[in-house]
Structure 1
């Protein structure tokens, strides 16, 4: 089998396993894996910008929240049904990502990181300020009757799982295709040496702008689906914490690998889940795990597999 065939087989194999797990997982883990797939989609979006383009953003919660509130507010206040509400959430995230990109990409390095953080905080404060509509910190519940898509009740565990699987499959395969395309290879070249890419005649600004819009749109889709599938939208999802989480997931799984976001999200989710049953300082355990991985597996779990066993793993 060719290298490309093995790569495609591996990634499709993961999707087949996740599909099959729906029929065998106990209820607790069934719900967990559905949640992990949606959050891993968020991490996939983050990985395109950070892992492949080399831009460290601390503001991705802005896109996640834009998708969530774009979906949730149109259902709550405009009477949208789930399908157009999801589209509204995704478009909201794409517009926010495009607007932020036009401003943030005027900077680089640490300044870029700070600018994205500032705008994310502004978004979070906006959610709190318009509490009359967003319900602020308390958030709002999306009722079961409002979560029926094409006659399918997304509050049903099986329907929710398959919807999460569908979202993750699209984001995952899109990421695989993107990084193997000419555009994706140019992003990787920008990450490695932007000045040389610019000297070769490529418009690096346009490529970074495109990467940020794609990244923000995928993150917004994850936010919109999260709110719809789990029936809740709250300001917490726009806080700094939810900008740090995708960074941790990508670092743990392996930045710049297609599998890394899912592996890192799965690892971190269950690490926090298990350690929170032992101590209230569960984030300390997560921090120790990250330090150990940084010391002994600096390229992340999937990154180390690529370095040691499979050089051609995208």
Structure 2
């Protein structure tokens, strides 16, 4: 019964997203295209933080690796959309593997600091090779390049359903992954790492696998952002883009499959609405985060699961 409920929740969520395209005004359709891409990024971060218990402060490097892998391979390698997308995702995965092999030698606060240092190094590398990356200015991917099998990905409809397709694949894949034996082992590490080790699990290898998979999801989001919105810039590798997924997951509910999407929607529209009234919109977002932390420390989905819907995945 639980399986059927969770399956219905996941497919119901996707049906709602399809329906929104037909009922929302153009502005909000564009907003949800962006939201779904960023939700993929949050889903990847949630695997590492929400399910494995590892707090990374450097996830922007994986997002940016996917973005630059896509953009640079198109502009300098002459690749078409799909090969360039694969290069972006592969770049993020390889970077996650390299970072993981070094960063996972540390634990706790040290892991947070090391991932932050790696992310800052990656950001500085982007600036250093400004001849190719255009540094803070970034570069545009031309409309003519963003064409997939004759479909112009710059149109509103194509952009929305491309974002939806990628989100649906990642959303359902993550829902399946966290219910698999691999996902259960990650939760065991989060709950009690020493006990998981005593039970015979290779904790180091599982953590590395979680980081690589998380990096791959983040790379998908970065490559998708470049593909659908046509811009690649160093700002996406800056510290605040490592903080954003943490906020989204905390707001939506860490360790829940629906939480990342809820968190991105909540934060996106909170900033969007508050910015129309004040320039201090990040202060409004900060106050909202503090209030949610005080009164709903498990996030929106986590609180719903605790108080009303215990089967919520």
Superposition pairs for residues 213-252 of structure 1, below 5 Å? 213-252=212-251
Partner SS state of residue 23, structure 1: helix
Task: Give 1:164's aligned residue.
Answer: 163
> 2-side partners of 1:30 and 1:15: how far apart?
15
| CA deviation string 1:35-68 (max 9, x = no partner) | 0000000000000000000000000000000000
Q: CA deviation at 1:312?
A: 2.1
| CA deviation string 1:77-115 (max 9, x = no partner) | 111111100000000000000000000100000000000
Q: Which moved more, 1:87-96 or 1:15-24?
A: 15-24
Superposition pairs for residues 151-300 of structure 1, below 5 Å? 151-300=150-299
> 1-side partners of 2:181 and 2:77: how far apart?
41
Task: Give 1:148's aligned residue.
Answer: 147
> 2-side partners of 1:313 and 1:188: how far apart?
16
Task: Give 2:77's aligned residue.
Answer: 78
> 2-side partners of 1:309 and 1:207: how far apart?
32
**Ranges in structure 1 where 5+ consecutive residues have no aligned partner:** none
Calculate the TM-score normalised by the size of structure 1. 0.99
Task: Give 1:40's aligned residue.
Answer: 39
Q: CA deviation at 1:300?
A: 0.1
Aligned-residue Cα RMSD (Å) equals: 0.5
Q: CA deviation at 1:23?
A: 1.6
Calculate the TM-score normalised by the size of structure 2. 0.99
| CA deviation string 1:248-282 (max 9, x = no partner) | 00000000000000000000000000011111111
> 1-side partners of 2:130 and 2:274: how far apart?
34
| CA deviation string 1:142-183 (max 9, x = no partner) | 010010011110001100000000111011111100110000
Q: CA deviation at 1:20?
A: 1.6
Task: Give 1:312's aligned residue.
Answer: 311
**Ranges in structure 2 where 5+ consecutive residues have no aligned partner:** none
Task: Give 2:120's aligned residue.
Answer: 121
The alignment of Structure 1 onto Structure 2 pairs a total of residues equal to 313
* 1:136 has 2:145 as partner: no
> 1-side partners of 2:191 and 2:13: how far apart?
29
Partner SS state of residue 204, structure 2: helix
> 1-side partners of 2:165 and 2:17: how far apart?
10
Partner SS state of residue 298, structure 1: coil
